[in-house]
Structure 1
């Protein structure tokens, strides 16, 4: 990948001077930025309910004197640092939520939420970058949106599955407190729906990596995913004296799970498919044939087309289980995340600034990860970069995951995010305009919403 011309050279050293001022301001408050990351780590909240986390981030912005919008998709926060002209707007994004992991040592006793994915450090990095960019905005041609997004982790999807595939007109509520319930299970999709990104041209988010990973990596690709819930309905009967009069829904679901497992080697390796499922049975008495069971499956893949192929396999498997026992099955499919591919031209700018902070030895580039992020949704409508930072121990989404080095996880990304913004918006925003020219959007927001809604469906099957 070729490296674009350095904006520092084009602007006669103005970018270097502005970055030095921004970095100095961040370093002066480095201890506070690290402390904010640690404070939020001990304040985990589940998606769309991150009220205390949002309030803390909002208070930081208020201390910087920034007007803001709050309550976006219930808890989202947005503020704008305005430059001297009408150039492009760059979003620096952090995520508010923890994930439900009750066995984590720092889990909230009431909700089970824990920061086992490092979102708290993202918010601190955005807060720190804001401190630095205040020193540079008066000479930059454009603006910066500081966005705290809710619900990146996939929480309880049943309410969204119960809604079925939308048949009527799109929802019109803005997702704020007191308005209509959110439509989508992940926050950036919802923020796109309500227009919170309508004035944004590109977006950056620095995510903590897994323990033992590089100090910095960029251009990693991520899978997309969907959830398929299969509800099997059979018929109760006495399990001892007359089980043949029943239709065992739990065995139908178990057969469907076996059918799904049996087909994994038929899914192309190039699709990057990952499948995991949970099986639950009827809550009735042990002496009765189970009349209801549910098989919940998450399907991950590296493209929309691959997701559709794997979804069809899961749907056929559910029907096979129902057919084998004469049960009825209702399948509800919900798109969770779209696959993530970042914009190479934007990655170049971020990588150059990160190497100046962490050094070449600590940087890596270009892996495919089986995980998902709703930055993939954002990346379908604008250029995005989703670098990974260091500073954590353990594996994501596990009880041993914890940020230990808040400088690596929050202060360092604040430095290189601020530096990247300076490079993009200096010299008439030449860098940002170059990124936009080289990274045309894949979809308009209406096209994106149509794709997302079109992936959701409800189907009922039973033998005639």
Structure 2
């Protein structure tokens, strides 16, 4: 097969089509050939769920496999024990695939991060094969991003320089599994996935109340009840919900509520997530929530303190990257909804990345019943099925082609940069 000199912008649409066709053939063949090996990795991750910053098995499984394929792999990168990166190429533009692989406490891969890791790994391997075979100038990087589930792994990676210099990165790419019911929209035909999705901003914090213990029967008046402070705070939030906008969310749990009934609790701790569509609105909602917490502390006479986790920014849609993905998935016979501007009331630290570099965060369906969605134990089971693996690999083919087109097509790279630089 004749190799088109892709270091030059193709002069005709025919040349571009031939270039894309050659890359598409390499990508599809590579992923199909690696199907069984990728499925073993997928199943290994699914069977060994690990929570934020403790993804030791996943880190070793993915890095060992990449090294066995001859890639230059760095482990324990950017100050995080369970982050890694693999790179290939030189010169030209750079594209970063982000891989998530942490699970939820108690319910395993109920957000399907085993599938995210599999799809990003497959996309990187396939795009790397096309880059190598076709002698394409450019760089590809697979970045292992731990602790998306509340730990803010990508926030830590941004701070540590994983996306520096940002002008050097033409696109950061990943996709998330979703229940099959989310691929259907009222009045529309079913879709096989979603390219552009909006997720809302999220602040996370632990709230501690400190009082004084005392015998609950003999001298309760000597105590300062930290549980009363926490219960009051919880009720204050519940009352505030009536005046919240419909696209905002506050939800929390009691992590420490006392020890035994006959001791006035001197210490309690709560864990709260606060969500709103944009960062400015989130800041206002956080202020209102803190007023509720502090009123509870004041009513009980307790001290209050906060331990915040990294704030997740809202996820920005990059129309150029979404359009490119839709076009390439159509070659697989799959119909992808290009953009959904009604936000899902969920959050991701990929939102923070979307404020640093042009970013793509698509969604591919996992076959489920209508009553099953993410963060449900039944979704964890669905995320381990052969059908879910097939959906992840189809998505990987589209993401790999997107990466190659970003590297070879100036108009796509420039369009993605323009979309990124637009204000929300």
Counterpart residue number, 1:81 = 88
> Shift of residue 244 of structure 1?
3.6
Counterpart residue number, 2:128 = 134
> Shift of residue 350 of structure 1?
1.5
1:194 aligns with 2:190: no
SS at match of 2:206: strand
SS at match of 2:172: strand
Q: How is 1:7-86 mapped onto 2 (pairs within 5 angstroms)? A: 11=16, 13-72=18-77, 73-82=80-89, 86=91
> Shift of residue 150 of structure 1?
1.1
Equivalent-residue separation in structure 2 for 1:313 and 1:320 (angstroms): 11
> Shift of residue 299 of structure 1?
0.7
> Shift of residue 234 of structure 1?
2.5
> Shift of residue 82 of structure 1?
1.0
The alpha-carbon distance between structure 1 residues 27 and 6, as it changes in their structure 2 partners (threshold 3 A), is farther
RMSD over aligned Cα, in angstroms?
2.6
1:307 aligns with 2:289: no
Counterpart residue number, 1:440 = 421
Counterpart residue number, 2:216 = 239
1:318 aligns with 2:325: no
The alpha-carbon distance between structure 1 residues 411 and 236, as it changes in their structure 2 partners (threshold 3 A), is closer
Equivalent-residue separation in structure 1 for 2:178 and 2:311 (angstroms): 21
> Shift of residue 308 of structure 1?
0.9
What 5-or-longer segments of structure 1 have no aligned partner?
105-113, 155-184, 444-464
Of 268, 290, 306, the match for 1:331 = 306
Equivalent-residue separation in structure 1 for 2:117 and 2:257 (angstroms): 42
The alpha-carbon distance between structure 1 residues 356 and 316, as it changes in their structure 2 partners (threshold 3 A), is same
Residues 226-260 of structure 1: per-residue CA shift (max 9 Å, x gap): 12333222333443344344332211221111111
Number of equivalences: 392
Equivalent-residue separation in structure 2 for 1:411 and 1:117 (angstroms): 17
Of 182, 188, 209, the match for 2:178 = 209
4+ runs deviating over 4 angstroms = 5-10
Deviates most, 307-316 or 329-338: 329-338
The alpha-carbon distance between structure 1 residues 6 and 440, as it changes in their structure 2 partners (threshold 3 A), is farther
Equivalent-residue separation in structure 2 for 1:290 and 1:317 (angstroms): 20
Using structure 1 for the length normalisation, give the TM-score: 0.78
Counterpart residue number, 2:201 = 224
> Shift of residue 100 of structure 1?
1.1
Higher helix share: 2
Equivalent-residue separation in structure 2 for 1:23 and 1:391 (angstroms): 20
The alpha-carbon distance between structure 1 residues 331 and 37, as it changes in their structure 2 partners (threshold 3 A), is closer
What 5-or-longer segments of structure 2 have no aligned partner?
1-9, 184-191
Equivalent-residue separation in structure 2 for 1:71 and 1:52 (angstroms): 13
1:266 aligns with 2:246: no
Using structure 2 for the length normalisation, give the TM-score: 0.85
Counterpart residue number, 1:446 = none
Q: Are 1:80 and 1:145, in contact at CA under 8 Å, matched by a contact in 2?
A: yes
